[in-house]
Amino acid sequence: MFTTPQVNLYSRDVERTAAFYAHLGFVESFRTPMLGAAEHIELKLEGLTLGVGSAEAGRRDHDLDIRLDERGRGAEIVLWTHDVEAAFALATRIGARVLQEPHDVRGLRIAYVLDPDDNPVEFVQHRDVSDPPTTQPIA
């Protein structure tokens, strides 16, 4: 019934937010319009499509009540990694603000940052680096 899952984030600055995720390894796969300021960019990483859309275009084109002044708005991006410290260092180096420093919880190493639009981004790894990244629920 459903195919090609995607997460969309609304942004005040589509190019800046897309560049942030490109620095984390996402690859741009779509943008509109092709010329001029982007109103929507899609990026892919390991089967996940992340859309970054203009809050203004969402209001104008879809009559959406987008409130970018409310941090996170109930969503976060989770990126599994083999090195939380390296991911955290990269994100903060490219301008992410720290939400939670790297810490251990229930066999995992986790850190949180805020992207350019204050969406929470979680970096997570198994403390035993021989375990592959997973999306299985935490018990």
Burial of 120 (0-12, 13-18, 19+ CB in 10 A): middle
Q: Over the chain (139 residues), what is each successive 10-residue block's mean pLDDT?
A: 77 95 97 93 94 89 79 75 95 95 92 90 82 45
Domain 72-139 -> CATH class: alpha beta
Q: What is the pLDDT of residue 13?
A: 94
Mean pLDDT (the chain, rounded): 86
CATH of domain 1-69: 3.10.180.10
Are 111 and 24 in contact by the 8 Å Cβ rule? The answer is no
What are the residue boundaries of the structural domains of the chain, listed by start?
A: 1-69, 72-139
- What is residue 72's predicted lDDT score, i.e. its pLDDT? 59
Whether pTM > 0.85 for this model: the answer is no
What integer pLDDT is reported at residue 106 of this predicted model?
85
